[in-house]
Copies of this chain bind each other. A is one copy, B any other.
Amino acid sequence: MADLRFGIVGWGYWGPKIARNLDSLSHASVGMVADLDTHRLASIVVNQPWIQTTTQVEDLLNSDLDGIVIATPVQTHYRLAKAALLAGKHVLVEKPLTASVEEAEELVALAKEMRRVLMVGHTFEYSPAVNELRKLVQSGDLGKIYCVEAERVNLGLFRRDINVIWDLAPHDVSILLYLFGKMPEQVKVQAHAHLQASIHDIAHLDLEFADGMTAHVHVSWLHPCKIRRVTVIGDARMVVYDDTNPAEMVKVYNKGADVHADPVVSYRFGAITIPHIDWIEPLRLECEDFVSSILNERQPRAHAGVGLAVVKVLAAAQKALEEQQRSETEMATVAL
């Protein structure tokens, strides 16, 4: 089977990681890297001289590369992904897919038209822990799901181009959509901009689903501790997925409360179970899925439709935030 050759646009945080993973696969290699900043490209020139470097993205578009990875700021995703698809390339875009719903919809349609794989880097869909959690949810072991609490907080990294919702919430929203396979009906937001005048650094998203399930997503750049936690609360069992605790990533609590006809709530307390999870780096599985989707002409797990759904939720949150700011003292807000 002939090897697939890939180009990377953007040599910042994600670019080198994706390149390393693609390179480690049997049927893939990295052939070209583009970045506007030649300083970033210097280490490639020294350590991996067989990889071509350029500051012109056109060099990748005009090449015979099979696929292009776009690991640049979100505002450029639409333009670059569109150009790559039009050039006949398969495309992996970092999350979020685009900066607006319209852009995402156009890319989804274009990829279909061009018969090319368009994938978005929702890495957590490839996390063995998230997949263990999904298995628990979908097996019915947790019972009816009441709600989910997601937290993703840390000190920084503060972004200057997007707020914390667009920076961190894509992870949690993609996890929610992947776990439950359904879209929320409503999104509410409480958010604050403490450090930079107009860029919110703390946000609480509240999602409601048609069946009564709710989800709360807390994202923040302003917190002393690194917390990466998703708690799924069912009427039969409750699960905590803590991405910062490798030895106990998924913890299943066999406990709950039952409301009875008469005014009595009873409580159940059973064992906690921590399943063993065979760990594989999610980014490697993501890269494998990208390559395999191209070779087998099928949709990857994190296909562009998933990316569009995530952007819809983020855009709704952004809109809620802006509307709220326009009418601070009304609705959902009470002055003391």
Query: Which residues on B sit within 8 Å (CB–CB) of A196?
Result: 259, 265
Q: A190-B188, A194-B146, A331-B330 given as contacts; is B275 within 8 A of A271 (CB)?
A: yes
Query: Which residues on B sit within 8 Å (CB–CB) of A335?
Result: 185-186, 316
* CB contact between A332 and one of B47, B188, B267, B269 (< 8 Å): that residue: B188
- Could you tell me how many residues of chain A have their Cβ less than 8 Å away from some Cβ of chain B? 81
Query: Which residues on B sit within 8 Å (CB–CB) of A194?
Result: 146-147, 212, 214
Q: How far is the CA of A88 from the CA of B175 in the complex (A)?
A: 58
Contact in complex: A273, B273 (CB < 8 Å): yes
Contact in complex: B317, A146 (CB < 8 Å): no
Smallest CB-CB A-B distances: 4 pairs: A331-B331, A224-B238, A224-B253, A272-B274
Q: List 17 A-B contacts (CB under 8 A).
A: A155-B255, A155-B256, A155-B257, A155-B267, A156-B265, A156-B267, A160-B265, A188-B190, A188-B334, A190-B190, A202-B216, A204-B206, A225-B240, A270-B276, A271-B276, A323-B334, A330-B331
Residues of A within 8 A of B (CB): 23-24, 47, 146-147, 149, 155-158, 160, 183-190, 192, 194-196, 202, 204, 206, 208, 212, 214, 216, 218, 220-226, 231, 233, 238-240, 247-248, 251, 253-257, 259, 263, 265, 267, 269-276, 312-313, 316-317, 319-320, 323-324, 327-336
